[in-house]
Amino acid sequence: MTEMMIETRNLTKKYRGTRAVDALNLAIPRGEIYGFLGPNGAGKTTTIRMLLGLIKPDSGVVQIFGQDLRKDRLRILRRVGSLVEYPSYYGHLNAIENLETSRRILNVPKSRIDEVLHTVGLTKDAKRHVKGYSLGMKQRLGIASALLGSPELLILDEPTNGLDPSGILEIRELIKRMPQEQGITVLVSSHLLSEVEQMASSVGIVNQGRMIFQDTIPNLQRKAGSEIHIALSDAETAMITARELGCFPRLDQGKLVFKGIDNDQIARLVTALVDARHSIYRVEERRKSLEDLFLTMTGGGSSDAASADDTIASGAPRAAGLRREAAQ
Amino acid sequence: MIGKLLSTDLLKMRRTGIWWVVLIGPVGLAAMQALNFGLRYDYLVRGRYAADPWSGLLNETAMFVPIAVYLAMTLLMAMIANIENKQNSWKQMLALPVRRSQVFASKFLCCLIQLLAACALLSVSTAAVGLALNFSGPIPYADLLTFGVYPMLASLPMLGFTLWLTLTFRNQAIPISLGIAASLMSVFGASMPEVVPLAWPALVVSGQRALTFMGLGVGLFAVLYLLGSAHFSRKDVA
């Protein structure tokens, strides 16, 4: 059995009667980059705050490194680096002084400050007051201070929030290097699936305080599945040709849509269709995007987050989401 | 651990201007008396306090000590708390391996160190005023040393309260308003009933059972401190 870095059991936190986090079971094995995913207000930050002992759960247990957080908080936190939501910093101090405030408490050698500044690429700006930093630099400083104590576990809450594309890319590359170079397990939360998909090895999706999916990224992608769309001159007669070959497409706006069809079948199908004098305009693979899957699972969310590439696939969950909103 | 926290807190105060408050308060008070005694030299030094100009100077200055101490507590604690409140650094600070009670203690010690430094500065600068004005008679070292600290000890309940308010709530308008109100009311301290803590520093200044009111001040402070610390240690950090 792999060693669990973080394990929660029935973690629950109520705010004025509503359950912000509801019986959440997290399981994060060593060496993973775990994407903690969910729409805004799903309870991600609340969960992370409970993992860090910043807020107390109403019920449930948090175990980090196999130790109970309530009993061994200080010993656990010594081995954890964290960045919670937007960066916290002391604007009137420069980067070195900012890190020095944590260094004195963590009791690590002064050389660590230069090392982490180098890791996040802030060496050049180390002597500037942090209040003059861009958001991306502040965020990198936050990661630097999370890395300062050479943690075994890194907990990053929305580390790319509010960054521009190049900033996002930088942070992403930084996070991806962690398990490889330093053997750090990373928990990174986000409300953007595409982002998690690009850096995480496993994922937990949370909605309205409940864990609705927890597995590896490949398994999530498998769940999404793909379809082959063939656009041609006369779809209805082509359907008959396809059936004769043992394929059973559905008809969609003059296109044939095949599910679970392999390369061989496609090749034979296209040959047969050409022989039957159909004009084939387009053969394309369409993945049901993870966004759609995500929206289906989280029951809508904001409609502008839906990808617009597949009207049928995303139409249904979006309509379901709207209905739910109307019902509230 | 508390030592590390304290050194961290002192580091965080760089460039915040906190130490200017510590400097300007007592020096300003002494400068005011220098003006008072300098301009009215004949009346005050040669006339009214001719017998003992040193205690004249101390008494005139001491009248302003309670109001200054209350203002200093309010201002210093607001500035200390603001370091963490400004960018909501509490979440980062408290996710470090630190005991919350010690974080609370460290913030208190910062403020106490600054208040004691201010008292020491008040002693030194008041002595300087007396010497500069060529006061006759022996320098009352003991009184000079205590005329700031004693009322400060009697004012400590205010610090206990302000410590909790500033460190617990992000909105500093409430503790600052309360602090200013308290310092203004403390001017009338001597005419308030003895049970009102706001009266205690003024009662210490007037010299009536000074020890009792200092003891009461420290005692009530201890209670407020423990309550504040207990709450701070348990509360959820937003």
For residue A80, the chain B residues in CB contact (below 8 A) are 95
What residues of chain A lie within 8 A of the CB of B97, using their CB?
73-75, 77-78, 105-106
Interface-testing mutation among B92, B107, B231, with chain A (most A C-beta atoms within 10 A)? B92
Distance of alpha carbon A36 from alpha carbon A83, whole angstroms: 14
Probe site for chain B from A52, A70, A88 (most B CB atoms < 10 A): A88
Token pair recorded at residue B130 = 């007396």
Q: For chain A, what is the mean pLDDT?
A: 85
Q: How many residues does chain A have?
A: 328
Is any Cβ of chain A less than 8 angstroms from the Cβ of B14? yes
Q: Are strands A27-29 and A4-15 parallel, antiparallel or unpaired?
A: antiparallel
Residue whose pair of structure tokens reads 């002992």 in the numeric block: A53
pLDDT of the residue at B228: 97
Helices (H), chain A: 44-51, 73-78, 95-106, 111-120, 135-147, 165-177, 193-199, 217-224, 235-244, 263-275, 290-298, 311-327
Interface of B with A in 170-229 (CB under 8 A): none
* Between residues A180 and A28, the one the model is more confident about: A28
Q: Tell me how close the Cα of B230 comes to any Cα of chain A, in angstroms.
A: 15
pLDDT value, residue B16: 93
Amino acid in position B46: R
Per-residue pLDDT at B114: 97
Query: Which pLDDT score, from 0 to 100, does residue A148 have?
Result: 95
* Across A193-197, A289-293, B189-193, least confident range: A289-293
Residue B135: burial class (beta carbons within 10 Å; 0-12, 13-18, 19+): buried
Distance of alpha carbon B26 from alpha carbon B61, whole angstroms: 10
- How confident is the model over B8-40, as pLDDT tens digits? 999 999 999 999 999 999 999 999 999 999 999
Please indicate if any CB of chain A lies within 8 Å of the CB of B20.
Answer: no
A-B C-beta contacts closer than 8 Å: 79
Q: Would you place residue A300 in the very low, low, confident or very high pLDDT band (cuts 50, 70, 90)?
A: low
- Sign of the torsion angle spanned by Cα atoms A189, A191, A197, A202: positive
Sequence spans of domains, chain B: 2-234
Q: Read off the pLDDT band of A303 (50, 70, 90).
A: very low
Interface of A with B (CB under 8 A): 49, 52-56, 73-75, 77-78, 80, 82-85, 87-93, 97, 100-102, 104-107, 142, 145
pLDDT, tens digit (0-9, with 9 covering 90-100), for B48-57: 999 999 999 9
Q: Which one of A58, A101, A107, A156 would you mutate to disrupt binding with B, by most B Cβ within 10 Å of its Cβ?
A: A101
Nearest CB to B4: which of A73, A83, A104?
Answer: A104
Residues of A in contact with B7 (CB under 8 A): 104
Q: What is the per-residue pLDDT for A228? A: 87
Determine the distance from the C-alpha atom of residue A263 to the mean position of all C-alpha atoms in its chain, rounded to a whole number: 31
Contacts of B93 in chain A (CB under 8 A): 88
pLDDT at position A322, please? Answer: 39
CA atoms within 13 A on the CB side of A260: 4
SS3 of B237, please?
A: coil
- B117 touching chain A per CB within 8 A: no
Percentage of chain B lying above the pLDDT 90 cut: 89
Mean local confidence (pLDDT), A161-190: 89
Percent pLDDT > 70 in chain A is: 90
Average pLDDT for chain B = 94
Write down the pTM of the prediction: 0.85
Q: Are the beta carbons of A149 and A81 closer than 8 angstroms?
A: yes
Rg of the Cα atoms in chain B: 19
In this structure, the dihedral spanned by the alpha carbons of residues A168, A173, A178 and A179, taken in order and rounded to 10 degrees, is 110
Using DSSP's 3-state secondary structure scheme, residue A62 falls into strand
The pLDDT of residue B178 is above 80: yes
Condensed to tens digits (0 to 9), the pLDDT of residues A205-242 reads: 998 999 988 999 888 877 777 788 999 888 888 888 88
pLDDT of residue A1: 57
The residue that leads in pLDDT, B168 or A222, is B168
Rounded CA-CA distance B163/B161 in Å is 5
The secondary structure element, H or E, covering residue A6 is strand A4-15
Q: What is the pLDDT of residue A223?
A: 76
Query: Are B92 and A145 inside 8 Å of each other by CB?
Result: yes
Q: Chain A contact for B231, CB < 8 A?
A: no
The residues facing A251 across adjacent strands are A256
Binning pLDDT at 50, 70 and 90, where does residue A326 land? very low
Q: Which residue type is seen at B81?
A: A
The tens digit of pLDDT for each residue in B221-230 reads 999 999 999 9
DSSP B106-164: HHHHHHHHHHHHHHHHHHHHHHHHHHHTT--S---HHHHHHHHHHHHHHHHHHHHHHHH
pLDDT in tens, B62-106: 999 999 999 999 999 999 999 999 888 999 999 999 999 999 999
Tell me how far apart the alpha carbons of residues A185 and A31 are, in angstroms, rounded to a whole number.
Answer: 5
Query: Distance (Å) from the C-alpha of residue A106 to the closest C-alpha of chain B?
Result: 7
B99–chain A Cβ distance below 8 A for any pair: yes
pLDDT at B64: 94
Which residues in chain A touch residue B16, judged by CB atoms under 8 angstroms apart? 92
Predicted pLDDT of residue A327: 40
Kindly tell me if the per-residue pLDDT of A304 is higher than 60. Answer: no
Report the residue from A88, A106, A142 with minimal CB separation from B88: A88
Nearest CA in chain B to A57: B236
Task: Look up the ipTM and state it.
Answer: 0.90
- Band (pLDDT 50/70/90 cuts) for residue A305 is very low
* Closest CB from A54, A56, A89 relative to B94: A54
pLDDT at A235: 87
Task: Provide CB contacts within 8 A for B155, sequence distance 6+.
Answer: B66, B69, B70, B73, B186, B200, B201, B217
User: Per-residue pLDDT for A44 more than 90?
Assistant: yes
Of B7, B16, B236, the CB nearest to A92: B16
Q: How far is CA A293 from the centre of its chain?
A: 13
Interface test with A, best of B5, B89, B91 (most A CBs within 10 A): B91
C-alpha neighbours within 13 Å on the C-beta side of residue B189: 29
- Residue B43, amino acid: Y
Q: Are B189 and B46 in contact (CB under 8 A)?
A: no
Flag if A105 and B94 touch (Cβ within 8 Å): no
Q: Do A90 and B89 touch (CB under 8 A)?
A: yes
Q: Residue A230's beta-bridge partner residues?
A: A256, A283
Cβ <8 Å between B95 and A56: no
Q: What is the mean pLDDT of residues B140-151?
A: 94
pLDDT for A41 beyond 90: no
**Both tokens assigned to B65:** 């000590």
